[in-house]
Chains A and B, each alone.
Chain A
Amino acid sequence: MSNPIKSALRAGLFRLESGWDALVGRDANPMYCLGAMSWHFFWIVGASGLYLFIPYDTSAIRAWDSIEYISTEQWYWGGMIRGLHRYASDAMVLTMMLHLVREWLLDRYHGARWFAWFTGVPLIWMVFASGVTGYWLVWDELAQYLAIGTAEWLDFLGIFGQSIARNFLNPPALTDRFFTLLIFIHIAVPLFLLFAMWIHILRINRANTNPPRQLIIGSTLMLVALSLIHPALSHPPADLGKATSVLNPDWYFMALYPLYDTKGPAVAWSVAIGASVFLSLMPWMVFRRKRRAAATVSPPNCNGCGNCSSDCPFGAVVLRPRQDASGHSQIAVVQPDLCTSCGICVASCNRTNPFLRGEPHETGIDLPDFTFDLMIKRVSARTHGLVGNNRVLVIGCEHGAVLDHFKGPSVGVLPLHCTGMMPPSMIDYVLNKDLVDGVLVTACRPGECFYRLGPEWTELRMAGERVPKLRGAVSRDRVRLSWAASTESKRLATDLAEFRVALAELPKPEAPETTKRRVAE
């Protein structure tokens, strides 16, 4: 699947997330919504920045004083807002970088996902540019250090007519006009950032830009408390006639500056551009990975209901007008470039029902390399010959816990591309046909799904809250859902054992007359 180091890191990540779940509860674990957390912090930065713009004096001489005034004289409000502005920016950098690392670890950056990954790289530059220009505006010694360092760094490119660093040569060189330009940049870059963030999620269906309420409230309160307890303070005012000495940089934004100081602009540029180019090209550097065939639509079986389009995590299925003799006004169309072949759309289709007659079983939308007909055949094969009064079929995902470990005389397993590929009617089918006594559905934990949304849709469908629903008549005692990441085989084994014990204690279900008749036939 991937190299051993990455696999080990991924296992470590899953264990960390699992431990974090136990500590704070699933809904308060930010690891499952790092992108959404970045959005949340962006809004805090934006709102607090709008407020700070009101008292801010856009002149080189009075800028520091205006910020200092609200930080000291109005510490309980203006100072707190300033703290929110700074710390939310830092938190945004932190969650953004964690988001990047996590997506890489979970292998969610290539194939149809190249667009989100590729467009995410400029976001890093924009976030850093927004932060650094913000620090300039305080016009303290740190701002002086950053302004001169950045200007020298940019001057190295030789693409600007005049040297930018000469603006900071001595006190008279810095004009209020240049300062007005700085604040314009500090407002313009975040606006472009917002636009770029929108582009970043453009190809993701139901992109999560809002963390759970618990996290919104908790993280906001945390930032407010931090701003009051440890307020954001300025360095002494900038003095271009005096060299900067001991500084307390915000390392979330300024980690690259010491590299520039010690190694010079050529190395700093090489690292920055080299890292960006490398990151941008990563989606195409995944070798030896064969992309699965995209889902295909069967026009005679598609009634244009739109379930598949609604459920697709990447918006790969769209509805187009239909003008044939079918009588349906729309038809699903798969955009192969966007399809990750997860099979979630297969389960969405109301034709994906094993009770419907036909040989082979056809459905409205299917995966060429793992058709619905093949799924039914595998279910029959994997449940054939199971013995005992607590026979279980474990249906799961190839990215979650390895199911083959659980095979046994009474346990059959069916790994799918994604658990979201399983139509709820399949559970009904295997119980109805008395192929097993119970069905254990296992999926990656929500937020850890390789394909996005598989666990969420599975849970809602099984709870009867999203179509296609698991029929109400299906005994819930005989169905169990168990989240298990690839590192949680032991926990899944425990769940399976408990489930089998519970099944053994249940009375044998009375098969419906129709089933009895069919079996007899």
Chain B
Amino acid sequence: MIKPQHIAGQIVAYTAFAVMIAYFASSPSYLHHSPDNALVKLSLTHAGQRLGDCKDRSPEELAKMPPNMRTKQSCGRERNTVTLEMDVDGKLVYRHTAKPAGLSGDGRSRFYDSREFPAGRHVIRARLRDSGNSDGFDYDASVEVDLAPRQVFVIDFDEEDKKLTFE
């Protein structure tokens, strides 16, 4: 049989327990991104150009190969590293060189970055180098945008059209 004073104590204890659960289940609030800022996300995966040139196989070479592996060209698997840079309003805000994924270095290079900028007009420029050429970039594009508060602006690479995209 529960004692009356324990019933009162249990009401107090359960109320305190409930308040504790309810409070931390949704409080205090947390500011993830300022509501006045826009978020510029740079996310792309892109395979660098192959390190070596492809070489045509001679008929003799093809004859020596198993029938299911007789491709006309022999290409090295390894790919170049990819370098990506981003300027906002003429100021370099991101620069990263990513190695190709995979044990053989034949995968895609991956980039991911997100950062806040005040809402308003900005000139965003992205440059990407996927060849072994150390001078200049293989892809270079810029856009002038009017970023709204809390807008997510994404910079990607369109593999079909081979160009940097802004959306």
Residues of A within 8 A of B (CB): 20, 22-25, 28, 86-87, 90-91, 94, 145, 152, 155, 158, 161-163, 165-166, 169-170, 214, 218-219, 221-223, 225-226, 230, 232, 240-252, 258, 261
Contact = CB atoms under 8 A, between A and B. Distances in A.
Closest 7 CB pairs of A and B: A23-B9, A25-B6, A243-B39, A248-B26, A222-B14, A245-B35, A24-B9
B17 interface: yes
B2 A163 contact: no
B152 A250 contact: no
B22 A230 contact: yes
Give the interface centre of A24, A145, A247 by most chain B CB atoms within 10 Å: A24
Contacts of B93: none
Given A24-B9, A155-B112, A243 B152 contact: yes
Interface in B5-20: 6, 9-10, 12-14, 17-18, 20
A244 B22 contact: no
A144 to B, nearest CB: 10
Contacts of A155: 110, 112
A242 B17 contact: no
Given A24-B10, A243-B39, A248-B26, A225 B31 contact: no
B156 interface: yes
Interface string B31-44: 11111011101010
Given A244-B32, A245-B150, 6 more contacts: A28-B13, A222-B14, A246-B35, A247-B31, A248-B30, A250-B25
Contact of A243 (B10, B18, B22, B33): B33
A91 B167 CA distance: 43
A245 B152 contact: no
B18 A225 contact: yes
Contact of A90 (B10, B24, B29, B31): B24
Contacts of A243: 32-33, 37-39, 116, 150-152
A252 B26 CA distance: 9
B45 interface: yes
Given A23-B12, A24-B13, A94-B21, A169 B30 contact: no
A79 to B, nearest CB: 15
B43 A24 contact: no
Given A25-B9, A169-B43, A252-B25, A258 B112 contact: no
Contacts of B38: 243
B3 interface: yes
B142 to A, nearest CB: 20
Given A166-B45, A169-B43, A170-B154, A245 B112 contact: no
B10 A242 contact: no
Contacts of B68: none
B133 interface: no
Interface string B129-146: 000000000000000000
B22 A226 contact: yes
A226 B26 CA distance: 13
A114 B95 CA distance: 48
Give the interface centre of B6, B13, B21, B33 by most chain A CB atoms within 10 Å: B21
7 contacts: A90-B24, A91-B17, A155-B112, A243-B33, A243-B38, A248-B27, A248-B29
Give the interface centre of B12, B26, B116 by most chain A CB atoms within 10 Å: B26
Given A169-B43, A240-B152, A242-B151, A226 B30 contact: no
A87 B112 contact: no
B152 A87 contact: no
A86 B13 contact: no
A70 B110 CA distance: 41
A151 B25 CA distance: 22
Contacts of A245: 31-35, 150
B22 A87 contact: yes
Interface in B118-167: 150-152, 154, 156, 167
Contact of A23 (B2, B13, B32): B13
Contacts of A248: 26-27, 29-30
B10 A25 contact: yes
A152 B112 contact: yes
A241 B37 CA distance: 13
A497 to B, nearest CB: 25
Contacts of A158: 101, 110
Nearest to A25: B6
Contacts of B14: 218-219, 221-222
Given A243-B150, A246-B30, A261-B32, A91 B21 contact: yes
Contacts of A219: 14, 17
Contacts of B107: 161
A158 B37 CA distance: 29
Contact of A24 (B6, B22, B25): B6
